[in-house]
Amino acid sequence: MTPVSARSGKTLPELFLKAAIEAIEDAGVDRIDSIYVGNMMSGFLQHQEHLGALMSTALGKEGVPAYKVEGACASGGVAANAGVKAVLSGLEDVVLVGGVEKMSGYTTPEVTAGLMMAEDRERVGSTGITFVGLNALIARQYMHKYGVPHEAIAQLPVLLHQNALENPNAEFHKQVSVEDVMKSPLVADPLRLFDCSGIGDGAAAFVLAPLDQARKFTDSPVKVAASAVATDVLSLYQRPDITVFEASRKASAQAYMMAGVHPDDIDLLEVHDAFSVLGIMALEDLGFARKGAGADLVNNGVCAKNGRLPTNTFGGLKARGHPVGATGVYQIAELAMQLSNKAGKCQVDHPSVGLSQSVGGIGSTVAVHILKRTG
């Protein structure tokens, strides 16, 4: 993966190449059969599509099947799902999944408009509400419905900024306190600056292969035990309860069944904390806490690196950064690094089963992956 940066100065292929080459070298594979590229905004911001052929060419792998997969901010997660299906199909064995996004170098209105492409442009975008504004509605309703104070939710960004201190690829290396969060500028009431992930460029990648083939390249491949995608009605106004992401519940239920595990078996977590409240809701919707009690897991130390369920150990969207179409791939790559003891200073003690949750739009697309240690 590349460092996430709002000043990368790099083009889409430059970002992708760095991550792809690192992934291929780390995997030790001698060939790539196909490439799946997760990306959300290249058409709108860079006026560039056709990222499949663009990236296969940049990588010197012209010839192989390659295309872009898009599911808003879950583009990386759904690209991973496409890669898993490609391997399961038997048509391709050694598959490169990459996610890339370039968000810097544009004005705030441009990026804000780009993010609203995740919602219904016609019916919701036309009202003028922003993507942060929609998430602020969720935060307000969540706090009200469950009586959870903002300060409790604010513990999540505090933890994630702490985790990111050890991650050389993190966008932010800055410790913050609950007080810092609560005093940071309002972005969309009640969300404050430190409740929100930032704008950043980045790319991440990993290599998939059938397990028997993967064993030729490494003694301890990480097993993809589940890959599940679910959707929900696209827009917030269509939901009976905006404090629950049904697509998270559905995708995780399928993933648990596919992997033959229970939430209690998960000992490493990557959740989509684009906004602090989303990270808290994820803990609930994925089955780790009842509704309204997600923040307790953070505040009781369960989600800490030395807790029972280390969460976003590289800093999460909040502090590692959120280059939208790449984020789902960062999450899976980070799980894989942890599960193969390659997480460096971010390493937690011998995790066995990790789960990643990648969210597109306002919970409208959710991709869940479960990875297991084999070594």
Q: By the criterion CB under 8 A, which residues form the site for a copy of itself? A: 11, 34, 40-44, 46-54, 56-57, 62-72, 78, 81-82, 84-86, 88-91, 113-114, 116-122, 125, 227-235, 238, 246-247, 250, 360-361, 364-365
Distances (CA, A) of 24 to 78, 96, 113, 184, 326: 20, 8, 35, 41, 17
Q: Are 195 and 281 in contact (CB under 8 A)?
A: no
Q: How far apart are CA 75 and CA 82, in angstroms?
A: 10
List the beta bridge partners of residue 226: 370
Catalytic-labelled residue, pool 150, 161, 322, 369: 322
- Given a contact cutoff of 8 angstroms between Cβ atoms, the answer to whether 313 and 338 are in contact is yes
β-pair type (95-101, 34-38): parallel
Residue nearer to a copy of itself on the CB measure, 23 or 51 = 51
Shortest Å, Cβ 113 to a copy of itself:
6
Rounded least distance, CB 18 to a copy of itself, Å: 17
Task: Indicate the residue among 195 and 232 with the shorter CB distance to a copy of itself.
Answer: 232
Nearer to a copy of itself, 167 or 227 (CB): 227
Active-site annotation holds for 73: yes
Contact 364, 122 (CB under 8 A): no
Q: How far is the CB of 44 from a copy of itself (least distance, A)?
A: 4
CA 208 to centroid of chain Cα atoms:
18
Q: Which is nearer to a copy of itself, 91 or 211 (CB)?
A: 91
Least CB distance from residue 334 to a copy of itself, whole Å?
22
Q: What gap in Å lies between CA 221 and CA 223, rounded to an integer?
A: 6
Q: Looking at the annotation, which residues are catalytic? A: 73, 322
